A and B are shown apart, each in its own frame.
Chain A
Amino acid sequence: MTVQAPDELASLEAGLDALELHEEPRLPRWRKALTTAWPPVVAVGLLLLGWELAYRAGAKPTYALPSPADVGLVLLEQLRDGTFAEAVSTSVSRGGLGFLIALAVGTPLGLLVGRVRAVRRGIGPILSGLQSLPSIAWVPAAIIFFGLGEAAIYAVVLLGAVPSIANGLVSGIDQVPPLYLRVGRVLGARGLTSARHVLLPAVLPAYLAGLRQGWAFSWRSLMAAELIVSSPELGLGLGQLLDQGRLLNDMSLVFAGILGILVVGIAVELCLFAPLERRVLRRRGLLLSG
């Protein structure tokens, strides 16, 4: 009977390891950027083309359907006199602050609902119900309660975003593989140590997804609130800009406002949440291709 000497076992293992590992070839960065960039560019181009054709065909009177160029001009003008920048920065800072408050409220709330059974039975269903309630429904109540002011706007934003963030955390906690918790216990993690080293890292991807949705809800709720809650003291946000366009019957301004809202939403998604999520998922091998 032959039995391998230890160094023979070592080389056998090294061979097996080498056979089972395969490095994935990585595309150069610029090529990846190119392959991901062209489809949306083409889609936007086609959309603009369709719009221009509809305008030329006179599908609607010009006041209702301005040409892309008209909208571009209005946008340029708004950009030049600083109105647009003001509206964007007002809205973004409101949205950002509202989101941060929602984060600070939603995170402990989610942990509580996720980990304490009585709390889950009590407010779990309410929380998921709230998530499907359009936050614009809160606007009248917020105005009556807080008056026409920032407080009303933030109230609507929070009611929109907090349930998303909390629910993301709850579903994340539910999906933590029990095996990880057992491993933590075997290694000697209890209570807070276990939460810190096992539960929270395990929950991170779902939490991030919740945050992403929470931001989307904040932004949407903010626009709903700004459209309705407007007064001279409040300052000009994108929603108020939209409302101004409607009052002036200025469709180009309305379109410019919508464009602004869209661009901010996409920018936050692309620059903040998407890279963050991708990074977390890639580290865990949950992302298939680079």
Chain B
Amino acid sequence: MTLLDTFTPARALPEPLPDGVAVRLSGVSKRFGDGPTVLEDISLDVREGEFVCLLGASGCGKSTLLNLVAGLDSPSAGAVRVPGGRAALMFQESALLPWLTASQNVELALRLRGVGRRQRRERSAELLDLVRLRDAGGKRVHELSGGMRQRVAMARALAQESGVLLMDEPFAALDAITRDVLHEELVRLRESQQLTVLFVTHNVREAVRLGDRVVLLSSRPGRIAREYPVECRQPRRIESPGVSSLSVAITEDLRTEIRRHGGQS
């Protein structure tokens, strides 16, 4: 496959990470100004090619954590290490720029990396083909459905060729049918492109459906409460029995975490 050949994960490491580790958070804490601590002592390794889901209720600092990994913000304590110092980030809204067409959005990511004009055009066509939107390249953002927008956003994220994809509840605003299809699409892309994914969600089933590992965060401050390896193998579906049983167990733990905030104890 030609795409695999052209896809080179960033290998320039300013601070070398051990082999096979794509993202390393060591003792990361974050507070904004004099406010409460949002994240406390988070240590997490994401292996190359691993799909990790961060799961938590409101106030667990999931999005803050992703911003730290994406380099949009810096930790108050501890260190975040990502190969090449950068990662692609997808948001809940597609965040496509509405004055550009679908393919121009993808091309902008390439352009900002210094890719030449002809290569940009070819590569963006390849990427749109990859998310099966070959014919939608000339469409404007408002002419695309929510699901199509997120697929373009995926193509744009892939155009960054950082090898690490951060996703901040990217499917939360989609209807259930579209979300289901995009789950399948993401699993497929992740395999074909050998992506490392750090996926934030508050949807337990989604986390279990997608992840190789689910990390449960407690809230206020966000700490790692527990980790669950997902044993049920891909391909799986949101309604697969293995997904169900693990989801039930995680939901129980999540509720316990949440209850701690309501009680007098």
Contacts and interface: CB of A to CB of B under 8 A. Distances in A.
A contact patch SS: helix
Contacts of A185: 72
Interface string A1-22: 1011010011011101100110
Contact of A13 (B97, B113, B142, B185): B185
B235 A3 contact: yes
B47 interface: no
Contact of A201 (B91, B99, B132): B99
Nearest to B112: A188
Nearest to A1: B240
Contacts of B169: none
B91 A183 contact: yes
B237 A3 contact: yes
B143 A17 contact: no
Contacts of B146: 20
24 contacts: A1-B236, A12-B181, A16-B177, A16-B181, A17-B145, A17-B147, A17-B148, A20-B147, A20-B148, A21-B145, A180-B95, A182-B95, A183-B91, A183-B95, A183-B97, A186-B160, A187-B160, A188-B160, A193-B112, A204-B99, A284-B99, A284-B140, A284-B141, A285-B142
B88 interface: yes
A192 interface: no
B98 interface: yes
Nearest to A188: B112
B184 interface: yes
Contacts of A16: 145, 147, 177-178, 181
The contact size tier of chain B is 35 or more
Interface in A1-59: 1, 3-4, 6, 9-10, 12-14, 16-17, 20-21
Contacts of A283: 99, 140
Interface string B169-209: 00000000110010011001000000000000000000000
Contacts of B240: 1
B74 to A, nearest CB: 13
A9 B185 contact: yes
Residue among A4, A185, A204, A284 with most chain B CB within 10 A: A284
B155 interface: no
A156 interface: no
Contacts of A284: 98-99, 140-142
Contact of B99 (A4, A17, A20, A202): A202
A148 interface: no
Nearest to A186: B89
A198 interface: yes
Contacts of B188: 6, 9
Given A13-B181, A201-B97, A187 B112 contact: yes
Interface string B68-101: 0010100000000000001011010101011110
Nearest to A8: B184
A160 B77 CA distance: 53
Given A1-B240, A9-B188, A285 B141 contact: yes
B96 to A, nearest CB: 8
A188 B123 CA distance: 18
Nearest to A12: B181
Interface string B11-38: 0000000000000000000000000000
Contacts of B178: 16, 20
Contacts of A13: 132, 147, 181, 185
A198 B96 CA distance: 11
Contacts of B236: 1, 3
A183 B86 CA distance: 13
Contact of A198 (B97, B111, B156, B184): B97
B147 A189 contact: no
Given A10-B132, A13-B132, A17-B147, A187 B181 contact: no
Most buried by B among A186, A198, A284: A186
Interface in A165-208: 179-180, 182-183, 185-189, 193, 197-198, 201-202, 204
Interface string B91-123: 101010111100000001101110000000000
A44 B10 CA distance: 67
A179 B89 CA distance: 12
B93 A179 contact: yes
B112 A189 contact: yes
Contacts of A187: 108-109, 112, 156, 160
Contacts of B100: 201
5 shortest interchain CB distances as A-B pairs? A285-B142, A20-B145, A3-B235, A284-B98, A188-B112
